[in-house]
């Protein structure tokens, strides 16, 4: 089973889900807004991508944070706390493929390799 983590109104998540549906793949969707961020998954995500890629510093949510909050993200523990508190700061989608591999964001080429 493939699991897509994100928020439903995110354009990149929509593209990823549409691509997977077009390929006829069975996908579970984990909605950060309704189900929260799966705290047990964050260590694996941080290991796979690093906090500098996982925390979307170019996104609207990051830009809306006050300077002190942004400056406080200095290690994995502080990044985890922020991601749990502000799920929209996570770059999306995070995809856990059937074989357990993880990808971040959407690229048709990368998905083609992972599928």
DSSP one-letter code for 41: T
107 in Cβ contact with 15 (< 8 Å)? no
Cα separation, 99 vs 1, in Å, equals 8
How far is residue 97's CA from residue 41's CA, in Å, rounded to a whole number? Answer: 13
38 is written with which tokens?
A: 């799966």
Q: How far apart are CA 33 and CA 36, in angstroms?
A: 6
- Candidates 2, 4, 7, 10; catalytic one: 10
Whether 10 is catalytic: yes
Residue numbers annotated as active site: 10
């Amino acid at each position: 089973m493939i699991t897509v983590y994100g928020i439903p109104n995110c354009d990149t998540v929509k593209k990823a889900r549409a691509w997977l549906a077009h390929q006829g793949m069975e996908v579970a969707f984990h909605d950060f807004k309704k189900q929260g961020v799966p705290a047990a998954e964050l260590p694996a995500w941080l290991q796979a991508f690093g906090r500098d890629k996982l925390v979307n510093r170019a996104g609207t949510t990051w830009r809306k944070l006050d300077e002190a909050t942004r400056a406080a993200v200095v290690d994995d523990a502080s990044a985890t706390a922020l991601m749990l508190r502000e799920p929209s700061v996570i770059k999306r989608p995070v995809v856990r493929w059937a074989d357990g591999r993880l990808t971040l964001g959407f690229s048709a080429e990368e998905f083609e390799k992972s599928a």
